[in-house]
Amino acid sequence: MVAFVTKSQPVSELRARGLPCAGLKDDLVDRFIRDNVRREATAPTDASTFNEAANDDDRQAHLETLSADNTRLRAELDTRRHANAGRKLARLARGASTTSPIQIHSTSDTASCIAVFDGTSQQSARQVERTAALAHWTPSLSLASAANPLAKTARDWHSAYGWRNDTWENWRDALAQRFRRRLTMQEFMKLQAKRRLGDNETIVEYMCSKSAILDKAPYLLAEDERISLILSGIDDDTWAHPLAAQVCFSVTELIDKATLLDARHQATVYVPKTTTCHRLHQSIVRKVLIDEYHPATLTPCGVSVRTGPIREPRVHEYPHDSASTAATSVICPAIVANPKLRPWFGRKNDVQREATGTK
C-alpha cells in the first residue's frame, strides 16, 4: 500500500498538521501513522462527551437556583428595611410631640463675663463669642446677651436699628460697621508709651496689660514688634537687661521668662532717701543735746534749754545715729527764727548787724 503512495501526499498532509516534512517517503509515512495513532488515543469517546454535557447542565441548573435564591433574599431584605424605616419614622413622629427642645439658659455668672460696650466692636464681639463657646450658647442667646450690656450711643443704636437683625451674625456685622474706628498710628504709639512698669506692679501683670493695649494697634503686630514695645516700657535696667537678653519668639515665652524675675522684683525694698534736714531735726530734739546749753531759756514748746555753745557729743551717746555730729555745725531754722534759742555766735552776728544798720 505504501508503494502506491507518492511522496507529495504525506508531505502535504504533514504540512497541514504542522509536522516536519523533510525525509524519505517511508519516514514521512511512519510519521503520519504515528500522528494518527496519537490522535485516536486522545480523542474523546461518546460516553465522556455525554458525561461532560450532563455536568454542564447540572452546573447551569445550580447557578439558576442560586440566582433565584439571591433574588428572593434581596426582596426579603428590602421589605425588612422598609418596615424598619417606617417604624422609626412613626416613633420619631410620636416623640416629637412629647419631647421638649433643649434650652440653654444664661445665668448671671456667665452674663457678667461680658463687659459694658466701650466702643470697640471687634473686641466686644470676640468676647461674646468666647463666652458663648464656653457656655454652649445658641446664636439667639448670644445676640440677647451681647445686646444687654450696651450703653449710651450703642444702646440707642440697638433700640433704633440693631433689633432688626434677627441673627447673631447679622447683628455683629452691623455693630462693627456702625462703630468701626481704628486708632491712628500716632494715637496708638502715644497710648502704648503711657503704659510703663510701676514700682508696686509685677512684671507679669505689666506684660499682660501691655499686651492687651497692643491688640488695639491699627495693624497686626508681629511677635518681635510686640516684644520690643513691651520691653520699652521697663525703665529699670535691673529687669530690662535680663529680659532683653532672653531669646523669645512670642509674648507667651517672654511672660514665662518674666515669671522667674518676679520673685526678685517683689523682694526688692524701696527705701526713701533720708534728707539732711530730717537728720538735723532728729538730732536737735534729742535731750542729750538740749542739756548741753548753758544759759537757761524757755522755748515756745515749753522745753527748758540753754543757749550756750554745744559741746562735742560723745560717741557712746549716739551709737546708732552718725548724723547727730552734723547738728553741732548746722543751725536749725527754728533756732534761727527765735533769737533766744540761738547760741552766742548767733547773737554776736545780730549785734554786728544792728551796729551797721543792716538786717
Per-residue pLDDT of the chain (359 residues; tens, 9 = 90+): 556 667 777 778 777 877 787 877 777 778 878 888 887 777 655 555 556 666 777 777 777 887 887 888 888 888 888 888 888 888 777 765 555 545 555 555 566 667 676 556 666 777 888 888 888 888 888 888 888 878 888 888 888 888 888 888 888 888 888 877 777 888 889 999 999 998 888 889 999 999 988 988 888 889 999 999 999 999 888 888 888 888 889 999 999 888 888 877 666 555 555 555 555 555 554 544 444 444 444 444 444 444 444 444 444 444 444 444 444 434 444 444 445 444 444 554 555 555 565 55
pLDDT at 330: 42
The grid coordinates of residue 352 equal: 554786728
The Cα–Cα gap between 144 and 172 comes to 12
Q: Which of helix, strand or coil describes residue 65?
A: helix
d(Cα 290, Cα 341) in Å, to the nearest integer?
Answer: 11
Return the residue matching grid coordinates 464681639: 125
d(CA 339, CA 354): 13
Looking up cell 524519505, which residue turns up?
A: 24
Which amino acid, 94?
R
- Rounded Cα gap, residues 179 and 176, in angstroms: 5
Burial of residue 327 (CB within 10 Å: 0-12, 13-18, 19+) is: buried
Yes or no: say if 137 and 131 are a contact pair by the CB < 8 Å rule. yes
Ramachandran bin of 23, using left for φ above 0, alpha for ψ from -120 to 50, beta for the remaining angles: left
Torsion of CA 319, 322, 326, 327, to 10 degrees: -40
Q: How big is the CA angle at 79 (ends 74 and 83), to the nearest 5 degrees?
A: 150
What's the chain's average pLDDT? 71
Report the phi/psi class of residue 222: left, alpha or beta, with left for phi > 0 and alpha for psi in -120 to 50: beta
Instruction: Please enumerate in sequence order all residues whose Cβ is within 8 A of that of 212, keeping only pairs 6 or more positions apart, or say none.
Output: none
Question: Which pLDDT score, from 0 to 100, does residue 208 have?
Answer: 92
What pLDDT, on the 0 to 100 scale, is given for residue 294? 44
CA distance 254 to 232: 13
Strand extents, DSSP E, the chain: 296-298, 304-306
Neighbours of 244 (CB within 10 A): 13
Contact by Cβ (8 Å): 306, 292: yes
CA distance 169 to 175: 10
- pLDDT at site 326: 41
Q: Which helix (H) or strand (E) holds 269?
A: none
* Residue 119: DSSP 8-state: S
CA distance 158 to 164: 9
Q: What is the pLDDT of residue 118?
A: 59
Say if residues 265 and 239 touch (Cβ distance below 8 Å): yes
**347: enclosing H helix or E strand:** helix 344-356
The candidate with the shortest Cα–Cα distance to 280, out of 289, 271, 292, is: 289
pTM above 0.75, yes or no: no
Contact 334, 340 (CB under 8 A): no
Q: How many CA atoms lie within 13 A of 160 on its CB side?
A: 8
Q: Which three cell numbers stand for residue 93?
A: 413622629
Helices (H) and strands (E) in the chain, counts: 17, 2
Residues, the chain, total? 359
Confidence at residue 230, expressed as pLDDT on a 0 to 100 scale: 92
